[in-house]
Amino acid sequence: MYTAASIAIFITMGLALIRALLGPSVYDRVLAVNMFGTKTVLLLSVVAFLYGRPDFLDLALAYALINFIGVLAVLQFFENRQELATDADEDSGNRQKSNATGTEPAAEKSPR
């Protein structure tokens, strides 16, 4: 029973890896990697009971935390990168705007 569940999870991890290698866009790969991480957490908690070692549950909990934070960080990275790639022609306007907002707090701080 545990063996059947772990075999199903292994097959799903293989399918997610195939999608991560095939995926046409970056977001397909991120989705496949997210699913791979979730299935890793499931596999750790099944294997902990398959081999009778409940210490693996701590590893599963830590891996769930790391996986979530990692996926959010990668998504933030690619979102910023996409914005930089599409706003390359409006670079001078953005730079002037950022200079204006950057100098305002300094001007406010200097009288204090």
Partner 1 sequence: MTALSTLLLLSGSAFVLIGGIGLLRMPNLYTRLHAASLTDTLGTLLILAGIIIQAGFTLAAIKLAAIALFLMLTGPTATYALANAALLSGTIPNARRLDLPPK
Return the range that interacts with partner 1 (CB under 8 A); candidates 35-43, 88-96, 100-108.
Answer: 35-43
Q: What would the two tokens of residue 15 be?
A: 């399918």
Q: Tokens in use for 27?
A: 């977001």
For residue 105, what are its two tokens? 């707090």
18 binds partner 1 (CB under 8 A): yes
40 binds partner 1 (CB under 8 A): no
Exposure on the CB side of residue 60, measured as CA atoms within 13 A? 17
Contact window for partner 1 (CB under 8 A) among 18-26, 87-95, 96-104: 18-26
Output the six-digit token pair for 66: 């790391």
In whole angstroms, the minimum distance from the beta carbon of 76 to partner 1 comes to 8
